[in-house]
Amino acid sequence: MNKLKNNQILPGLLLSFAVAAISKGLATFFPEIGGATIAILLGILLGNTFFRQPVLATGTKFSESKLLEYSVVLLGFTVTFQTISEIGVTGVLFVVLQMSVTIVCAYGIGRKLGFGEKLGLLMAGGNAVCGSSAIGAIAPAIGAKDEEKGQIITLVNLLGTVMMLTLPFLGIALFGDNLLSKSALLGGTLQSVGQVVAGASLIDAATVQYAMLFKIMRIMMLVVVVFLFEQKVKRSAETTVETSGKNKKLPIPWYVLGFLIACVLNSFVSLPEIFDTSAHFISTWFETTALAAIGLRLDFKKFLKEGPRFLMYGVSVGAVQTVAAVVLIFLLHIK
């Protein structure tokens, strides 16, 4: 069974790695663009033209999800609590306020556009916390249908991709060389871990590191969001839909715990320098391979099928998220 599964993973994994290797090679000629940016753009081009074969799907999905999770854990060996403390209380306050605004507005806009309560909650949670992972955790807790979950996952991924390719340039235009401001904008708004890494990679490695700190704070709130949404549905008029049997409290994702453990070790134990250099080297390769896979899996035709009302919903929520983040960064003086 494991051998069969490995055989299914191998084609897509090898393709993702090949695209990553080519991208790193091209980055030596175009260092101002960078390997990460080239990887995701080349992946999008190849994934929507030559490499659309179903046999690649399992491996590219593994590369997109698992390699990024491993990359996050390894990132912990390059970060200490001193680094995290630079975000400060205002950084934590920013995350809480930004998530609150996103949830309230995403839910409210959805209801105004005629979407049901559960679909609105999925959109709110997916944008506020961590994209598809949050949607997957919230859906069984509120009794959402598979069709609703699929629609919102598609919409959130589309919105996240657009924001991933635009927010880095907005951050540079608004905040210039201010590392924490740019990191808060990306880490506080982009939906998935992959999109945060990809977007921040368009700027520099330091932005990736700090943006991930903001993102991890959001992910750590997942359990709270799932609990609150579950309680809301139970109290609402739509409680006639069964949610029993599927409900379960989810712990913090394993890679967040892994990141924290690695960070603790790096903060309190004098680790050999090879830990830092090796973690950085492997994490970079995992990251670039995962970004290549994200590009390879991005299907524009699938997004277009969702229709104008869904697209209007996505654009509206994305605009609110972006404006709220910029306003909060200025008000809280995150810099």
Q: Give the whole-angstrom CA distance, residue 299 versus residue 304.
A: 9
Number of structural domains, the chain? Answer: 1
Write out pLDDT tens, residues 281-293. Answer: 887 788 788 878 8
| Domain of 170, in residue numbers | 76-276+295-331
The token duo for 275 is 């830990």
Residue labelled with tokens 């080239």: 38
Q: Give the whole-angstrom CA distance, residue 154 versus residue 225.
A: 21
The whole-number pLDDT of residue 6 equals 62
- Closest CA relative to residue 217, chosen from 197, 188, 178: 188
Q: Between 218 and 93, whose confidence is greater?
A: 93
**DSSP label of 243:** -
In a domain, 213, yes or no: yes
The whole-number pLDDT of residue 250 equals 45
Residue labelled with tokens 């709110």: 124
Query: What is the rounded average pLDDT of the residues 252-280?
Result: 77
The whole-number pLDDT of residue 216 equals 81
Contacting residues for 272 by C-beta, under 8 A, at least 6 apart: none
Euclidean distance between the first and the last CA atom of the chain, given in angstroms as a whole number? 51
The whole-number pLDDT of residue 182 equals 93
SS3 content of the chain, % helix, strand, coil (to 5): 80, 0, 20
In a domain, 22, yes or no: no
Which amino acid is present at 225?
V
Q: What are phi and psi of 212, to 5 degrees?
A: -65, -30
Percent of the chain with pLDDT over 70: 86
**DSSP label of 165:** H
Write out pLDDT tens, residues 189-202. Answer: 998 777 888 788 88
The token duo for 10 is 């191998």
How many CB atoms are closer than 10 A to CB 42?
Answer: 19
Angle CA 317–179–44, to nearest 5:
55
Q: Is the pLDDT of residue 106 over 90?
A: yes
Residue by residue, what is the 3-state secondary structure of 45-96? HHHCCCCCCHHHHHHHHHHHHHHHHHHHHHHHHHCCHHHHHCCHHHHHHHHH
Residue by residue, what is the 3-state secondary structure of 93-141? HHHHHHHHHHHHHHHHHHHHCCCCHHHHHHHHHHHHHHHHHHHHHHHHH
In a domain, 23, yes or no: no
For residues 92 and 295, is the Cβ–Cβ distance under 8 A?
no
For residues 193 and 214, is the Cβ–Cβ distance under 8 A?
no
Write out pLDDT tens, residues 12-55. Answer: 889 999 999 998 888 888 765 667 668 877 888 888 888 888 88
The token duo for 103 is 């949830």
Q: Give the whole-angstrom CA distance, residue 214 versus residue 187.
A: 5
| This prediction's pTM | 0.69
Q: Between 333 and 137, whose confidence is greater?
A: 333
Query: What is the rounded average pLDDT of the residues 75-97?
Result: 81
Q: Give the whole-angstrom CA distance, residue 160 versus residue 152.
A: 12
Contacting residues for 281 by C-beta, under 8 A, at least 6 apart: none
What SS3 class is residue 242?
A: coil
Residue 245 Cα to chain centre, angstroms: 28
